[in-house]
Structure formats: C-alpha cells, structure tokens
Structure 1
C-alpha cells in the first residue's frame, strides 16, 4: 500500500524530502496558492469545517479518509499512482521502447504545453464556482461542491509538481502564471473557452460537472497513456477523484428531474409556466441548459483536424481513451477517420488521416459516454410517467471551434439560415429569462436534511452517513 506522509508540509508519495531544492521551490509556491484560494476560492467559507475525503494512499482499496476539516487546512499534496519499472510505451513512433522518466529535449515544449493547459483548467473551475456556496440547495450539496473545489485544487498541485520538477525555470514561471490567470478575466483569461464561461447557478453547476468534468475524464485518460511516465501516473490518480465530480453532476440533474416530474404529476400539467410558478425547473429550460453545456464542452476537444494531435500521438505524449483495449496497430499511419464538413448547405462526412483526426476520435468517445448518462436521466422521467425525453444535440450544433465553427445548425442536425437561427435560438439555448428564472430559485438552504423546493433529496448520504448529517459546520 502506497501511503502518504502527512507529517510533511506537503503530503506526498514522491520522496519530496530527498529533493531539497524542489521541496523549497514548492514550499515557496504554497503561500501563493493559499492566497489564490483566499482571493477567488469558495466565497465566505474560511471558517467552515467540511466533511471531506482526503487521500491517505494511492491504492484503490483505501485511499480516502473522511473527516471534518477547514478547507484552507486541507492537506493538498502530490500523489502519483505506483510506478512499474518495466513499463513500455505502447503507441506511436516509440512503441515498444521503455517509458520515459525524464522529459526528452525534443518533446519538452509540447509536454509543457499539455501540462499547462490541463493545469489551467483546475483552478479555473474553482473560480467559476466561487459564489455557488451562497445559494446551495442543501448542506449535502454544499459539501459536494466543496469536495470538488479542494480536489480541483489538488489537481492543480499535481500539474505544478510536474512543472517544477521537470521544466526548470520555465516550469516555475508557468506555475506562477497558473495563479495569475483568472476565469473570465478580460485581460488575462483562462486558456480554454469553456473555463471562461460563468457558472451562475446550480443547474449550470450540475451540467458543468456532468459534461465538462467528463471532458476531464477523457483528457486525463488520454494523458494516462503517455510515454512520459510521471504524467501518466499523475493523471491516473487524478481520475479516481474525477469520478466523484461526474457523479455530482449526474445525480444532481437526476434529482432536479425527479422534483420537476413530481410537480408536473401533482399539477397534472406540462405547461412550463405552471411548473415554474410551482417553484420547479421546467423541462424546456433543462434541455436548453443541456444543449449549451454539451456544445461548449465538445469544443474543448479542439479542431476536428489537428496536426498537433497527430504530433502528440506519434511522439507518445498523449494516447487515445483506453488505448490498450484497441485492436489496431497503435501507430495509425495510413488509417482514416470520418469527420464532418458543410458543403453547399449540406452536412457531409469525409475521410481524413486518422492521426490528424484524433481530437475527433476522443470527442466521439466522449459523446458516446455522455449519451449513456442522458439515457439514465430519461429513465427518471420514464419512471415518473412523463413522456418528454431529453436529447443530446447534434455535434455540429452551436460549435465555435474547428470546421463546424459558426455553422448555423439545429439541435437535430439540420443546416439553417441566419433568420431561422435568430428565430429559434431562444428555443434551443438558455435565454436571459431562463437564467433570471433559475437564479430566482437559488435561495440558500443549509439546515441539515432540508432541501430547496426545486431539487429532490438524494437516496443516500456520503460515506454511509445519513442524508441529514451535519456535513458542514459553519463555525
């Protein structure tokens, strides 16, 4: 069992104490991290004691310990999955060679860029979720928000460790810059578009954690294949935490649907205005939020054809999702993949070299996974006897990146003209009125066991605790 030494200032399982220079550098970065947390972390939460899980080992059997802790005192640290001295690179041009423990000079710039981009998403989501605690629908949900926040903070630590250890002065400067960019900032925004969007309410938060954290799952899974072994081991451990974030999103939307269906059945109506008047979120609004978060998230995978994606794969820096389960040659030269384009107002498929289409391969894997979860949401409606079903929009809908950027497309996948887009946009994407209505429901409910009127309670509490357990002590 790979345990973690909590007596050290920075808990870790990477023998940090044996590298005094690195330890001092990270201890120098730590106060800046805490200042960042105080400035833009969860609003007003400084004195709260939260029932959090903390990593105590990196084996799947026993890595989590639960207890009340002040978030500012959370034991952020550096945890890598156990290594395998015989690990080989299993895709790309270096297939069959020994995995790298250090950064090869020729791949230095690309690896740094990959690590910085991943690292930048982690603090961004904490900043996006900063004010949500002030409108929590329950103490249970407040605790889940805070658990996600501290884990995103730890994921930032994971990337900063790699930058400090393997990239010298450049890495140290990049680590500082990760705390200087701010989500949505006009002058110094976060690197990726979705991480500059607002998360104004809890329905947006649940959609974000369902869809955008799922992008995290697929990106981290692709990096967990990397020939650069420290990156692969780091991201493998991060995936154990990412699963909880997606659970919060999936179960959150399920509970919203459950409550909406209950109100629809009580009132015997599907009239959105009557559902809203009863204090629940109508299904049309939920569908529009889904359309928005899904389309913004699939843009995160990048352009459908990318020479960078080809380089990252051939160099061994970033594999595919579940690379080891695929039955091709793991080199992909001469293979093709279908991508979409619009020609003469028609949506068409064309074959392109697979190496250049690896962003699209990952996006399609994500879409398959996302659709399965939306199917589970529909089971909630089916069980309640509600005939409406949620749907995932076409992957060309509302895209801002790649060949499909700016194409006007209906959620069903029909190319439309500017006039129809303008007329129908308010049926397809959330409107200012939708945001204002959802915001009007966001009153804070934090008495143990009490829940806001727009969401159903969960089936069970956290770590076998009752639903009405005191998950947050307000101090």
Structure 2
C-alpha cells in the first residue's frame, strides 16, 4: 500500500488492487451496480460540473485536488490510511498483541455485521438528500451538498472493499444488499432508524450534517481503534473526509442563526417568518428533533454486544489510546440515570464494560454542546436574549432506558396527556415543516443567496463566495 492513489486502474485505489485479479474482477462487477444505484437514488439535479475535491493521497498534507467534475464521472475508489507495521491491539483481552491483518475465524460474523451496519448508513444519507439540489440556497451550498454526497458514496466503497476482500461469498452478498435497501422503503428500509427519516429541506440537511454525521464521526472513531487493521485504516481515512461534512452542518446552522438574528434586529421583532427568515423557536425544534434521533443511533445505554466487541478487540472507545485506565474495564463502574416508575429519576451503578454505548454517547453530547455555544455566541453578538439548548438525553427517545417514557426537554417525566398537549412546542409540527419548505426556493445565480441564510465567511479552497462552484445543466 502507498500513500498516493492509483487513478490508472478502473477503480482508483492505494491497496494494490491489480495484484489480486479475483478481487479486482469482483469489485469491477459490483461497480456498474453502484453506478445504477447512483443514477436512480443519487442527486436529482443535473449539472455539467461541480467544484469537488478528489483524494490523491492519504498522507497528512496536500491529500486532495480541487477541480470541476461531472458528478457521474467522479472516480470513487478504495483508500486506506498508511499502515503502521508495529501497531498493536490497544484494548480488550488481546491487548498488546499485533494488530490483525486477516479476520480471526471466531470474530468473523461480528466483524462482518459491524461493517455492514456502517456501510448501510453511507448510501442512506445520499438517498435522503436526493432532492435537495432542487432547492439549494446558493451555488456554494449546492457544491457542498454534492461534495457530501460523493464522499458518502466513497465511504460505501470503503466498506464494500472490506466485505469483498475479507469475507468471501457472504461478504459479496452483503455488498449486494447495501444497494438493495433504500432509505424510507416500506419493504427494505435502511438498518438504522435515523437513516429512514426524510431530509426535505436545507435546515434539516444542516442539522443532519451537524448531529447525525457527528454520530458517524464517533462510530468511525470506535472502529478506527479496531484490532482488525484494514478496518482501522479504512475508518481513519474516512474520518478525514467526514470532517468536511460536519463543517457543512456547523457553519450551515451558524449562517441560519446569523441571518435570523439579523432579521430580528432589523425589524425589531421575533416574528421574522413574514420577512423570509426562520424563527428561533423553529430552529430550536429542529435541534431537538435531529439531536434526539441521532442519540438513538448509539443504541441502548447498556449493551452486552458492545461489551463483547470491546473485549474481543473489535470496537474500542473514542480515543482509546488516550484513556488512562487499564483498557480492559473488568473492575470499573459507571452510573446511569434512568426513569423510575414514580416519575422521578434514579441512579443505577453499572459495570463500565456494559455501558460502553453510554460512554460514547457522553463524548458525543459534549461535542454537540460546542455547536450550541457557537450559536449562542451569535445571539450574544446580536444582543438578543434568546439561548439555544440541547434537550435532556431522555427527551423524544425511541431507544434505551427513556424509550416508552415521556420526558420534556428539561428532563421532567410527564404523562401521555401532558406530552401530547405540549409536544408542538418542542418538536417541528407539520405547519413548521411546511413553512420551512416554503422558503426553499433555489438560488442558482453566482454571488446570490436565499433570504433565510447568511452567506459564508469564506469560500472553498480559497475561492470567493461568488465563484461559479457549479456549472448547471
């Protein structure tokens, strides 16, 4: 494997694919199926060229090239981070042993399942965002949408390579299945619930790329610690690309909040809907929804599967090597807050090994708080008293100890009637969604932008905002 990427092969790669003719033929047989999926389920809006970055190396510096690309001609490929020949397993019962270059037979099924679940999320988000190009607020934003989409497609390739290369006939069948499931399909939906939700407007897209792609960051971070070295190196490079997706979400919400604040100041009213802005309470409702749906992706707070994955060395903790414990967790404990039958919260001590999902969720929540602080600083700068907040982790949950309970954003446990009477204050209503969609009118003129969002402070790769990021068909 080299740091540079071979674009001479039919499938770009840095894994010396041509040296394994059987694997190369199998992946080249999957490639047209991927292209058919992209044609059917990828972006609806046709373009002549999009200013995209394409990976040319997996090294630390100068790893991407920027140029206008006809999207169907984008060169999706297989890129793994550089191998550390001295890498050892950092946790679990195999700690200290050399990292695995092949799949141990006893862990084959579990590793395959982890790869399939991760792989299933990648095309799902492309499917969810299929129509967004038709209502892009600017050419800059349209370009970012396409960048996210093509890289999610490449992340699918990353998981498909592992399935083909290391899991034989079953792996090839699972790779086929990744193209047969579709987001929101009643018959063959995507595996995880958040990836079957509709992304019908750009505020939802910004929230998705902030909250749900951030979940992806943490899931990839745990797989990067894996004792299975090809999976670790695959996820390490995926994280490099994933950073841009979260940037789109972070700065996207920044710009919505900034524009809404400016309209409030300009017209001296919180009622900015008639002025073409998104009211602050609707922004908060979108935060509440996308945050809590993303929390469900972490699974139940207690998990024997997660404990088994950790002990086996398949999936570690976020930044495992920086932890200051024994990396086995056999004697450690943590506390879990859970709803009690009397409508209060109770604390239960659990073995840390069973609460790994809770540990990862805690890292994620702390990261999400940084966005809230950013958006509240915009409020402060505009001299507005409103403050955004993350709801309680028990709010609006379908997975875990709070599922089946009605928890308000401040953490109060209420009955069904109270919840139904007040949930319109906390979650987007059909009227809220219809209003936001009414603002979604495309702006395809260079240097222009929709009324509900502020322009970015900087362009892409040093280009100005009014650069022609997309050549429309």
Coarse TM-score class (shorter-chain normalised): over 0.9
Q: Which residue in the other structure is 2:192 paired with?
A: 192
Q: Which runs of 5+ in 2 are unaligned?
A: none
CA contact (8 A) 1:295 1:395 kept: yes
Deviation at 1:84, TM superposition (A): 1.1
Q: Which residue in the other structure is 1:96 paired with?
A: 96
The reply to whether residue 470 of structure 1 matches residue 471 of structure 2 is no
Between the aligned partners of 1:112 and 1:96, the Cα distance in structure 2 is 23
Aligned counterparts, 1:169-208, within 5 A: 169-208=169-208
SS, match of residue 462 in structure 1: coil
Between the aligned partners of 1:36 and 1:451, the Cα distance in structure 2 is 31
SS, match of residue 48 in structure 1: strand
The reply to whether residue 321 of structure 1 matches residue 322 of structure 2 is no
Q: Which residue in the other structure is 2:35 paired with?
A: 34
Q: Which residue in the other structure is 1:48 paired with?
A: 48
The reply to whether residue 345 of structure 1 matches residue 343 of structure 2 is yes
Q: Which residue in the other structure is 2:361 paired with?
A: 363
Between the aligned partners of 1:36 and 1:43, the Cα distance in structure 2 is 12
Number of residues paired by the alignment?
A: 471
Deviation at 1:235, TM superposition (A): 0.1
1:115-157: CA deviations, max 9, x gaps? 0000000000000000000000000000000000000000000
Q: Which residue in the other structure is 2:294 paired with?
A: 297
CA contact (8 A) 1:92 1:330 kept: yes
Deviation at 1:164, TM superposition (A): 0.1
Aligned counterparts, 1:74-473, within 5 A: 74-270=74-270, 274-343=271-340, 344-473=342-471
CA contact (8 A) 1:88 1:95 kept: yes
Deviation at 1:309, TM superposition (A): 0.4
Between the aligned partners of 1:98 and 1:246, the Cα distance in structure 2 is 33
Between the aligned partners of 1:187 and 1:76, the Cα distance in structure 2 is 28
1:91-128: CA deviations, max 9, x gaps? 00000111000000000000000000000000000000
Deviation at 1:44, TM superposition (A): 2.8
Between the aligned partners of 1:308 and 1:370, the Cα distance in structure 2 is 26
Between the aligned partners of 2:131 and 2:177, the Cα distance in structure 1 is 23
SS, match of residue 339 in structure 1: strand
RMSD: 0.7
Between the aligned partners of 2:169 and 2:48, the Cα distance in structure 1 is 37
SS, match of residue 226 in structure 1: coil
Between the aligned partners of 1:41 and 1:349, the Cα distance in structure 2 is 46
CA contact (8 A) 1:79 1:234 kept: yes
Between the aligned partners of 1:96 and 1:381, the Cα distance in structure 2 is 49
SS, match of residue 457 in structure 2: coil
Deviation at 1:406, TM superposition (A): 2.1
Deviation at 1:456, TM superposition (A): 0.4
Between the aligned partners of 1:6 and 1:472, the Cα distance in structure 2 is 24
SS, match of residue 434 in structure 1: helix
SS, match of residue 464 in structure 1: coil
Deviation at 1:367, TM superposition (A): 0.2
- Which runs of at least 4 in structure 1 moved beyond 2 Å after TM superposition? none
Deviation at 1:48, TM superposition (A): 2.7
SS, match of residue 117 in structure 2: helix
Between the aligned partners of 1:431 and 1:176, the Cα distance in structure 2 is 37
Between the aligned partners of 1:179 and 1:48, the Cα distance in structure 2 is 26
With the length of structure 1 as denominator, give the TM-score of the two structures: 0.98
CA contact (8 A) 1:121 1:190 kept: yes
Between the aligned partners of 1:128 and 1:105, the Cα distance in structure 2 is 36
1:362-392: CA deviations, max 9, x gaps? 0010000001111111111111111101000
Deviation at 1:82, TM superposition (A): 0.4
Deviation at 1:337, TM superposition (A): 1.4
1:277-327: CA deviations, max 9, x gaps? 111000000000000000000010001110000000000000000101110
Between the aligned partners of 1:403 and 1:124, the Cα distance in structure 2 is 27
CA contact (8 A) 1:226 1:318 kept: yes
Deviation at 1:420, TM superposition (A): 1.0
Q: Which runs of 5+ in 1 are unaligned?
A: none
CA contact (8 A) 1:398 1:406 kept: no
Between the aligned partners of 2:113 and 2:344, the Cα distance in structure 1 is 36
Deviation at 1:177, TM superposition (A): 0.2
With the length of structure 2 as denominator, give the TM-score of the two structures: 0.99
